[in-house]
Amino acid sequence: MAKSSKLKFRDTIATFDRLRSQILGRKFAPIYLLMGEESYFIDELSELLATTILNEAERAFNQIVVYGKDSEAGAIVNLCRQMPMMGSYQVVIVREAQQLDKIESLSYYTSAPSPTTILVLCLKGKTLDKRSTLYKQIAAVGEVLETVRPYDNEIKSWLTDFIRAKGCDIEQKALTMMTDHLGTNISKISNEFSKLILSLPEGTKLITASHIEENIGISKDFNTFELTKAVVMRDLSRAMMIADHFARNPKESPLVVTISAMFRQFRQIFILNYLEWQRRAKGVPMPSDMELTRMLGLGSSFFLGETRQAAALWPNNRVFNVLGIIRIYDAKSKGIGSGGLSDGELLREMILRILG
Residue 3 placed within a domain: no
- Residue 186 and residue 68 share a domain: no
User: What is the pLDDT at residue 348?
Assistant: 95
Q: How many CB atoms lie within 10 A of CB 6?
A: 6
**Contact yes or no for 192/182 (Cβ under 8 A):** yes
Residue 147, classed as helix, strand or coil, is strand
Residue 235 placed within a domain: yes
User: What is the pLDDT at residue 299?
Assistant: 65
User: What is the pLDDT at residue 198?
Assistant: 82
Q: How far apart are CA 219 and CA 85, in angstroms?
A: 56
Q: Give the CATH number of the domain where residue 94 resides.
A: 3.40.50.300
User: What is the pLDDT at residue 2?
Assistant: 42
The 10 Å CB-count burial string (b at 16+, else e) for 210-235 is ebbbebbebbbebbbbbbbbbbbeee
- Residue 291 and residue 251 share a domain: yes
Question: Of 193, 216, 239, which closes a domain?
Answer: 216
Residue 25, classed as helix, strand or coil, is coil
- Residue 14 and residue 142 share a domain: yes
**Contact yes or no for 86/55 (Cβ under 8 A):** no
- Residue 143 and residue 25 share a domain: yes
Question: Of 95, 118, 147, which closes a domain?
Answer: 147
User: What is the pLDDT at residue 4?
Assistant: 45
- Residue 330 and residue 203 share a domain: no
Residue 325 placed within a domain: yes
Ramachandran sector of residue 111 (left: φ over 0; alpha: ψ -120 to 50; beta: rest): alpha
User: What is the pLDDT at residue 323?
Assistant: 96
- Residue 64 and residue 142 share a domain: yes
Q: Which residues pair with 218 in a beta bridge?
A: none
Residue 87, classed as helix, strand or coil, is coil
Instruction: Say which amino acid occupies 296.
Output: L
Is the whole-model pTM more than 0.85?
no
- Residue 209 and residue 228 share a domain: no
The 10 Å CB-count burial string (b at 16+, else e) for 66-89 is bebeebebeebbebbeeebeeeeb
Instruction: Say which amino acid occupies 8.
Output: K
Question: How many residues are given for the chain?
Answer: 356
Q: What angle, rounded to 10 degrees, do the helices at 172-182 and 152-165 form?
A: 120
Residue 54 placed within a domain: yes
Q: Which domain holds residue 295?
A: 224-355
Closest CA to 62 of 33, 32, 23, 93: 93
In the chain, which ranges are continuous DSSP H helix?
A: 9-24, 39-52, 56-62, 73-80, 107-110, 133-141, 152-165, 172-182, 186-199, 209-216, 224-232, 236-248, 255-282, 289-296, 304-311, 316-333, 343-355
Q: Which residues of the chain have pLDDT under 50?
A: 1-4
**Contact yes or no for 91/62 (Cβ under 8 A):** yes
- Residue 337 and residue 242 share a domain: yes
Cα dihedral: 310, 263, 179, 6 (round 10): 120
- Residue 245 and residue 203 share a domain: no
Q: How far apart are CA 117 and CA 25, in angstroms?
A: 18
**Total structural domains within the chain:** 3
- Residue 178 and residue 127 share a domain: no
Which tens digits make up the pLDDT trace of 55-89?
998 998 999 999 999 999 999 999 999 999 877 89
- Residue 304 half-sphere exposure, CB side, CA atoms within 13 Å? 16
Q: Give the CATH number of the domain where residue 239 resides.
A: 1.20.272.10
Q: How far apart are CA 49 and CA 288, in angstroms?
A: 42
